[in-house]
Structure 1
Amino acid sequence: MKKSYYQRLAGIGMLLIILFAFQKYRSKEKEDFSDVHFITNNSKALQLAEFDPNELDEKQWQNLGFTERQIATILNYKKVVGGKFLSKEQFKKCFAISGEKFSELEPYILLPENSLEAKFTHFKNFEKKSITVLGKFNPDLYTANDWIKMGFSERQAEAIIKYKSYLGGSFVSKEKFKECFIISEENFEKINPYLILPEKTSANYNKYVKNLNSTKIQYHAFDPNTLTLEEWKSFGFSDKQAQTIVNYRDRNLRGSFKSIEDIQKCFVISTEKFEEMKPFIRLNPATMANNGTSKSETKQQEKTDFSKIDLNAITFKQLLEFGFDEKAAGSMLGFRKKLGGFVNKEQILTTYNIDPELTKKLLSIAQLNTSNVPKYTLLDAPEEWLKNHPYFKYSADKIIFYRLTEKDEKKIWKLLKTKPEYEARMKLYLK
């Protein structure tokens, strides 16, 4: 009985203690847990602000929450796409950046949304000034300052003026104007509707150029073998034409004109111009080279048979012999070296600094052997070759990137989205 009584008493005591404790808990004010932080996988919260991914170093990428391995992948990807992210769309494609991570960073990325927007906005600060044409104009009357006001750089303006001088003081036609290498296809399309020039080059080109010069030339008796460059220019020839005549005399003819016919054969001297000069030409035997030369010297000075010369093997000396000046010969050989060899003769005519008429004459005579010109596929072309070849270098990084995952050349061409004319040029050097 006593035992049962004490057990009930103990139970009542425990119940009272519990009720007392609960009442005390209920009466306490709630504690402030605002400073309590729970540990998660990201122990450091990201402090995001606007950023250009092209300007971040490894430490800054780390601050955005990327691992060393992810950072290495991002930086390598940037090199593959040309050393610069052009748009958010392109940045998102890097497989080291998850969709979730991109969504987190996207509002802060200082890049255009896509490649189309990048073309017109992101590169705005880096592109040359856009060309602005106010109305119809005659480019023959434009000074370097006029071209600069249109939007060309100072160097470009000087090159355009120099090209006009090379043509004889006039652009002659829209066709000739378009050949100026400084003026891109895009800029020509903008300028073309406003040009006050004939569409095509006149068949009587030399006469057209001559008529631009309103000052009548005063001829006098002269020996063509003693005439200097400046004296030829005083007869109405341009710098380039005068230099070609001197080169033709000194290199092709070994120092002198031997007959009236030699002068007439010089291609920069038109029939009309020759008839004007003919009454004043005085050939002096004393000024003719090769007088009194030995047979061995004559043999040594025999002309090269250019019909047997390969344009992919022609030398600097042979080009000078044909009548090219040193600058033109150097340009042609330099262009040939960059290409790895010419594939067709039309390419040669696109070389800068050459005389088109003299070049056409050479092309009509010489041969072109293309058997040793290196060719590849888009998939196996060496990276260095792609980056240095004049036809591929602007698409090289894209080709290198796309072929990492795409092995179908047709699909790579679709991804490149190059203009048909550029694609045609590139395919000249593909298997």
Structure 2
Amino acid sequence: MKEDWKEYVSFTRKERNGVIVLLVLIVLLSVLPYFIPAPDVVVDEATTKEWRSKLAAWKNGKKGQANQVKERNEEVVAAETRSDSGSYAARATEDHIGLFPFDPNHLTESGWKRLGIPDKVIRTIFNYINKGGQFRKPEDIARIYGMRTPDVKRLMPWVKIAEKSGFTEKSRKMDRNATGTFTRPTVADSGNFTRVTLSPVRRKKYIHIDINTADTSAWMNFPGIGSRLAFRIVQYREKLGGFHSPDQVGETWALPDSTFQKIRPWLQCNTGVFRKLSINTAGIEELKQHPYLRWQLANAIVQYRQQHGPFRSAADLQQIILITPLLITRIAPYIEY
């Protein structure tokens, strides 16, 4: 043991010589800069002044270009303003622009021209109205593409939007009458007035189904359930061994809770569980197939049964740490002792 320890801390003669040479080289390289004089740096004052003057000229040129761009932009804005004012003045003289109260939902093309609106904007307004658009408040005219801000400010005080005849937005909604049936408003024109009557709305009725005997077609009659969801519900029922409560349908994978709440009143459980597990004879593979018992729980049940004997009641299951009281309540209808 002592000889092995010496092998790790001892050096041969060649290794010692190599270490000495390496240390000498490190010392020489560390001291060498102090003995080598630094080269003299000659600064050419003329060259330095020339570069400084070029840099100053370049900066001044940049500032000059920026000022020129700014001046050109100001000139363009001023020219556009003059052209807008000139065109507005021309329109005022040609079309006899005037201000008067108007409803933008019913104003004619000539009326818009009298208000001084260009033809292109007028076409945009009529396209908007023809497609079902409406002006509900004076500020809506500002949403028209091409409408200038000065025109909006000039016309807004004169906008008078007529109130809609007939029923209001609230009356459009379905109302419940005294008998509890839903009604929807219908409009009938008669002469110069509009009559609003209420007609009953027929609600689709569904039939009650037995959740343990219903097939996929029966499930597909409910709203929000297609062929895939119907198949998953039936498949989940087969894995459980049957439903013992309608609430178990809501445990189906990918079934939205909103859809389940809609169909819940139509679900009945007239027949009980049709397949049970023999907890004292079933193996791990059979137990883990049940949705409430995975491999870990199935293995714990089999191991406990081998060590302590067969289960006699639910109290024996409580001795297994992994099985909670809630789980015992859920699996109780599917277990026989």
The TM-score by the shorter chain falls in which range? 0.3 to 0.5
If the length of structure 2 is used for normalisation, what is the TM-score?
0.35
Rg larger for? 2
Q: Which has the higher strand share?
A: 2
Q: Which has the higher contact order (CA 8 A, sep 6+)?
A: 1
